[in-house]
Amino acid sequence: MEKIIRHLKNSEHVLVTSHVNPDGDAIGSLLAMGLSLDALGKKTTFYNKSKIPTVYRFLPYLERIVSKIEGRNREFDTVIVLDCGNLQRVGDLFQSPNLFLRFPVIINIDHHITNTYFGDLQLIDTTACATAEIVYRLIREMAVPVDKAIATCIYTGIFTDTGSFRFSNTNKAAFEICNEMVSVGVDPYNVAKNVYGTYSLGRIKLLNMALDSIELSYNGKLSMMTVTRRMLDETGTQPEDVDGLIHYARRIQNVKIAVLLQEYRNEGKTSDTSPKSKKIGGKKKFHVSLRSDGTVDVATIAADFGGGGHHTAAGFNTESSISDLKNRIFNLMFDV
């Protein structure tokens, strides 16, 4: 951590970024880190490739996050990559030619068990409940005062990544830090209201279709939910409306692994790797989400498919026909 702090203090222009299709931790960590660098007097660019989901639009200084880096604003000496197990999770930023005229130092701050230790400096703690927990510690170490805006971002990162303090990553630090953030002025009800507030009618109809799609493996230990592009089109919903649907599949009695197959459209879950969603010989592109009850390590399964994540929540992207994909996943049950 000392090395990172020394490097940041000597940096001039820092790019702060997090993973595509961001969740509350990716956005909360990005804003908290960026605002702290602002407080240190650094020139800071906040970047995320994807559209920010509506539920996170209440976060302070959200307008600082850009999805394109243009013109002269391209010279960074440092890039901080947050909440990403590997560099591809940022999207195609690092593939753009001539983007980094000064060949910056990459700092990798994350809590995924599958982190590849990319970059030049790493701050990785797989026991942290959220990247926001690590960012909080870094901010404290840098002696940046935590104001209400930074506190709201840290609180939201921890609150959402722990599933409101319900998931297995919920630790002592989650409560301690959130308690402190509330004393700085965060309103827990306001955060919860924004994050879990109201659903559009389309989202409720999508939930109906998603529930209807659930299939169980022969032994009842794996549940599979499928969300197609057509379902999104028919209900007028966006990929962000799919967030959280997998929990219904996870909650079924005796289920150890829940799987969500999400077919994506152009702006979908995996627009980071390939911009066009084309059918090639019946093959379609999917984002696959995996959740376990804690008895099965889904991070390893996701890694076998080229993705990653945590012990109980992981994901990967793939291109396959739907029947092949289902067969491959149902076959996993022979090993469980």
Can you give the binding site for Mn ion, defined by CB under 5 A?
A: 23, 25-26, 83, 130-131, 161
Q: Indicate which single residue of 80, 256, 308, 325 sits in contact with ligand AMP (rule: CB under 6 A).
A: 308
Per CB under 6 A, contacts with ligand AMP among 71-110 are 85, 89
Give which of ligand AMP, Mn ion, none residue 85 binds (C-beta under 5 to 8 Å, depending on kind). Answer: ligand AMP
Among 45, 108, 238, 317, binds ligand AMP (CB under 6 A): 317
Query: In this complex, which beta carbon is closest to ligand AMP, that of residue 42 or of residue 310?
Result: 310
* Smaller CB separation from ligand AMP, 85 or 104: 85
Would you call 327 exposed, middle or buried from its count of C-beta atoms within 10 A (0-12, 13-18, 19+)? exposed
Are 232 and 264 in contact by the 8 Å Cβ rule? The answer is no
How many angstroms separate the CA atoms of 113 and 57, rounded? 29
Which of residues 34, 53, 157, 307 is near ligand AMP by CB under 6 A?
Answer: 307
Count of residues that bind ligand AMP according to CB under 6 A: 13
| Terminal Cα-to-Cα distance of the chain (whole angstroms) | 39
255 binds, among Mn ion, ligand AMP, none (CB under 5 to 8 A by kind): none
Which is closer to ligand AMP, CB of 105 or CB of 302? Answer: 302
DSSP bridge partners of 320: 284
String of DSSP letters for 28-89 = HHHHHHHHHHHHTT-EEEEE-SSPPPGGGTTSTTGGGEES---TTTT--SEEEEES-SSGGG
> Which residues bind to ligand AMP, rule: CB under 6 A?
85, 89, 112, 289, 307-310, 313-317
